[in-house]
Amino acid sequence: MSDTKRESWGSRIGFIFAAAGFAIGLGNIWRFPYLVGTYGGGAFVLVYVIICALIGWPLLTAEFALGRRTKLTPILAMRKLEGGKPTLWSLIGWVGCIACVILLSYYLVIIGWMVRYSVLAVCGKFTGVQPADTKAIFNAFMANPLELAFYTLIVIAVLGITIARGLKKGVEAVCTWLLPILAVLIVILAIRSLTMTPQVEGGRTALDAIKWYLTPDFSKLSGKAILAALGQSFFSIGIGIATAIVYGSYLHDDSDIPQDSIMIITLDTGFALLAGVVIFPALFCYGMDVGSGPSLLMETMPVIFGQMAGGTLWGALFFFLVAVAGFTSAIGYLEAPVASFAEYFHVDRKKMTWIVLAIIFVLSIPSILSQSVWGGVKLHGKIIFDFADWLSGDIMMPVDALLISLYVAFVWKFREYQLEANQGAKTFARVPSILQPWMYVLPFVLAFILYRGI
C-alpha cells in the first residue's frame, strides 16, 4: 500500500500529541505514584527515568521506523519486510493487537470507575469520609455489575465515535484538544498540592514530600523494584503493543523519528512525575500512608478531598483528569487492532471499530463480574480482572517487545534500523552507532523481564 492511499498525520504536533496521549494514561497518574510509594520514593523514580532512556527510546524509535518503512500496520508490515510471505515475524502484529484487545477489556472498566468517581466528587459524596467509608463506597460499586457495565459502555461509546471518525478527524483532533487540557489540569492540581500545609497532627509539609519523592535512597532499591520500573516503562510508553508501528505507518518520510520519540517520552515521563507532585504532598500533609498500593486512588485520595477546603472541586478535577488521561491512552490501544484488522481483512474502518469494541465489551463482562459474583473464579491464581492485566501487561507486551528487539537486532540489522530511523532527522537527536552493542543485549534483558512475568 502506498503512502498516497492511506491516511497520514495532518501535522507534526498532531502526531506528537496523539502518540504522547497514547503514552500518558492510567499508568502515569495511578500506577506510577503507587509504585513509587511501594518501592521507596526517589530511587525508584531515578531508575525509571534511566530505563525510559535506555530501553524505552530505542524500542519506540524502532517501532515508529518499522511502521514508516512499510506504510502498513504491523501484521502486513512484517509480511512486506519478509518478501510478501506469511512469516513468524507477523506475530509482532498479532500479539500486539490481541494484547490491546485484552488490555482494553479491563482498562475501559477502570476508566469507567474514574468517570463514576468524578460524579461522586461533584455530588459531594466524599465530604468528611474516613478510610472505612471510601472502602465501603468502592466495594458497593464493585458489587453492582450493572452500574459498572453502564459506565464502561459510556466510555466505549465515546471511544468508538472517536476512532470511527478516522485518523485526522478522530484520533489526531481529539488528542490535540485533550492533551493541553490534561496539562492545564495537572499543573493546577500540582500547584494546589504544593501550597498545602500539614492538616493533621503528625502531618508533614509539601517540601518534605518533594524531598522524599526526588531524593534517591538506594538502600530501598531492590531487584523487585527495578523489575517494577521496567514493567512500568513498558506499560506507560506503550512498548510492545503494536500501536507505535501503526502510528509510524502514518508518518511522512521526512518525519524526525528520533527527536519526536524523545519529545513523546519526555511528555510521558513529565506527566508521571507531575502526578507524584499532585499526590504525595497531599498524602504527607494529611498523614496518609504513601505505600497504600493500588488502593491509593480509590480509597486514599477521596479521604483527602473529603477533608480539603474546596475538596468537591479538587476531587472532581482530579478524577476527571485521570479519566481523560485513560481515554487518550485508550484511543491508541484501540487504534492498533482497528487499523490492523481493517487493513488485513479488508473491512471498512467504521465497521471494524464497532466489531472490535463489541468483542472488547463481551470480554469486559467477566472482568466486571470478577469484582463480585465471579470473585471465586481464578485463572493462574488470579481473578479474571487481574488475569487480563497480567496476561496483556506482564506476558504479551514483553513477548511483543522481545520479538521486535530480535527482529531489529538479527534480521533487519542495526544499520538498516539506524538509516530508517535517522531519515528525516534534523538535529543532534539521532540513533547513534554506539547504540549497536546495546541493541544486541536488549533481547536478553527483555527475555529476563518476560521470565519474571511468567
The mean per-residue pLDDT over the stretch 71-80 comes to 91
Q: Is the pLDDT of residue 300 over 80?
A: no
- The closest alpha carbon to 22, from 278, 261, 283, 360, belongs to 261
Average per-residue pLDDT in the chain?
88
Torsion, Cα of 12, 15, 17, 18 (10° steps): 170
The confidence score (pLDDT) of residue 239 equals 82
Q: Is the pLDDT of residue 288 over 90?
A: no
pLDDT class of 293 with cuts at 50, 70, 90 = low
- Quick one: 12-452 is in which CATH superfamily? Hydantoin permease (1.10.4160.10)
The span from the CA of 424 to the CA of 76, in Å, is 24
Say which residue, 310 or 440, is predicted with more confidence. 440
Q: Is the pLDDT of residue 192 over 50?
A: yes
How many C-beta neighbours within 10 Å does residue 450 have?
18
The mean per-residue pLDDT over the stretch 77-89 comes to 85
Instruction: Give DSSP secondary structure letters for 108-143.
Output: HHHHHHHHHHHHHHHTTTTTT--HHHHHHHHHHHHT
Q: Is the pLDDT of residue 90 over 80?
A: yes
Q: Is the pLDDT of residue 408 over 60?
A: yes
Most confident of 96-110, 215-229, 295-309: 96-110
The confidence score (pLDDT) of residue 114 equals 92
The tens digit of pLDDT for each residue in 411-441 reads 999 999 999 999 988 877 798 999 899 899 8
pLDDT class of 242 with cuts at 50, 70, 90 = confident
Q: What percent of the chain has pLDDT over 70?
A: 98
Q: Is the pLDDT of residue 199 over 80?
A: no
The mean per-residue pLDDT over the stretch 292-320 comes to 82
Write out the H or E segment, with its range, that includes residue 382.
Answer: strand 382-383
In Å, how far from its chain's centre is CA 114? 15
The confidence score (pLDDT) of residue 113 equals 93
Lowest mean pLDDT among 12-16, 333-337, 394-398: 394-398
The confidence score (pLDDT) of residue 292 equals 67
